Structure 1
Amino acid sequence: MPVTIYQGNHHVLSPSDINIVIDVIRAFTVAHYAFLEGVKEILLVQTQKEAFLLKEECPEYLLTGEVKGVGIEGFDFDNSPKRITQHQLKGKSLVQKTTNGVNATLRALAARHVFVTGFTNAKTTAEYVRSICGNPNTSVINIVASHPTGDDDLACADYIKGIILDNQSITAPETIARIKNSSVAEKFFDRENPLFDEEDISYCTKEIPGNFVMRVNQERKVPTIERVVR
């Protein structure tokens, strides 16, 4: 079963069977907690302008995301998994714009199945992919660690690949340690940087058993993450 890991948000992937896009700190951790809070769907856009236009068309949409890690003026939420859990979201539709995870996903749509995940839902996602991959000798699976340089997404990619291939090349505790020690996490532990909340890293490194994966519906006018029960 060919499983290839790519790092960065710039790759335009060739057609494949399954693409998995990872953003641990923090876009798809936010997405996972949002679904746990009852969100209906998450629309993915590349620019702030697209997000605001969707909000004009559908005022009930809630905007979430960041530029360079910082929340966007005029958006309803920033990119904090801690803060997303503090709101009533049942039945709501989110529009998400982020630097790495969303951009990487929009370049990875040429597949029969596209999934997104952080670490919180990584094991569930990997086990689901393994169950649907078809012929293990011919299925082509790509895993995108969306941060261009950070070891957080790369560690999660190694973890997912190990589960898919059933070789346990890296354990969950080892993955958590790499995430916490990554350059991406450093600013969250800097007490002189109030823009980033240390508790977010705790949210990002909890492995949460669950019964659903986050699959991208590429047939929608706007690519949309949907909750799919295993």
Structure 2
Amino acid sequence: MTIAIHQGNNLELERSDINIVIDVIRAFTVAHYAFLGGVRNILLVKSTDEAITLKKKHPHYLLAGEEHGIAIKGFDLSNSPKQITQERLTDKTLVQKTTNGVKATLHSLNTKHLFVTGFSNAKCTAEYVRKLNSLADKKLIINIIASHPTGDDDLACAEYIKNVILGSNTITAAEVRTRIIHSHVTQKFFDETNLDFDPEDIGFCSKEHNSHFIMEVNKNRKIPVIERKNV
């Protein structure tokens, strides 16, 4: 197989067998906890207007996301994993709009399989991709996309996923956790004067779970949707 790590939220990559899009802080950590909380699926949209239009057509949908990290007026939920754990989500449909993770995913549809993850579900995702590779009858092309253009949190997670897929021992989960906590992306969460960000979110973003499911994007729908797939 060929595995390449890319960084950014607006990449235009050539056709691949597998794309894995990472957003540790916080979109796909939110998505992971939403599925742990019983959410049915998560629609991915590129704009606030598209999300609000969907809400008008489907009032039971829950809008979740941010614009440059800040909660969006008119949305039901912000982009906080802590907040998502406090909601009743069983059988709900979420609509996600975020600056990096969702945007990067919508730029990564040119692939056979598209997965999204934060660090919380990275190992499970990587092990599933490793299994897919073992079953393949050809050399797979795999892209791992760290969606934050400069964040070491996503980059560390990308290196970890590559490490697990290859079965190597170049980076440990503990090292990834340290890099997440010390990434420049987390600084605003620990700024006591910045009330838009909850420092407790970083605890959720830097903790692994053995959740036994992956998050795969169904690209065949009019609006791409993240679905839970048990493994």
Structure 2's unaligned 5+ residue stretches are none
Q: In the TM superposition, what is the alpha-carbon distance from 1:210 to its structure 2 partner? A: 1.4
Query: Comparing 29-38 with 128-137, which one deviates more in the overlay?
Result: 128-137
CA-CA distance at 1:137 after TM superposition: 6.4
Pair 1:193 & 2:194 matched: yes
1:13 Cα offset (Å)? 1.6
Output the amino acid matched with 2:216. R
Displacement after TM superposition at 1:169 (Å): 1.2
Using the TM superposition, name which of 134-143 and 60-69 deviates more.
Answer: 134-143
Deviations 1:15-54 (A, max 9, x none): 1000000000000000000000000000000000110111
The alignment's TM-score, normalised by the length of structure 2, stands at: 0.98
Matched-pair identity in %: 60
| Structure 1: gaps of 5 or more residues | none
Q: What do the CA deviations read for 1:110-141 (whole angstroms, capped 9, x no partner)?
A: 11100000000000000001101244861000
Residue type of the alignment partner of 1:181: H
Aligned to 1:65: 65
Rounded Cα–Cα distance in structure 1 between residues aligned with 2:201 and 2:23: 13
Give the aligned partner of residue 21 of structure 2: 21
What secondary structure sits across from 2:185 in the alignment? coil
Aligned to 2:149: 148
- Contact 1:159/1:168 (8 A) holds in 2: no
The 5 A counterparts of 1:5-154 are: 5-133=5-133, 134-135=135-136, 138-154=139-155
- For 2:59 and 2:106, locate their aligned partners in 1 and report how far apart those are by CA, in whole Å: 24
* 1:68-89 Cα shifts (integer Å, max 9, x gaps): 1000000000000000110100
Task: Measure, in 2, the Cα distance between the counterparts of 1:128 and 1:215.
Answer: 11
TM-score, normalised on structure 1? Answer: 0.98
Q: State the Cα distance separating 1:143 from its structure 2 match.
A: 0.3
Greater shift, 133-142 or 119-128, is seen at 133-142
RMSD (CA atoms): 0.9
Aligned pairs (5 A) from 1:159-170: 159-170=160-171
What residue in structure 2 maps to residue 205 of structure 1? Answer: 206
Aligned residue pair count: 230
Q: 1:2·1:137 contact (CA, 8 Å) conserved in 2?
A: no
Deviation at 1:10, TM superposition (A): 1.1
| 1:32 alignment partner AA | H
Between the aligned partners of 1:226 and 1:123, the Cα distance in structure 2 is: 18
**Aligned structure 1 segments of 4 or more residues deviating by more than 3 angstroms:** 134-137
Q: Distance in 1 between matches of 2:137 and 2:79?
A: 36
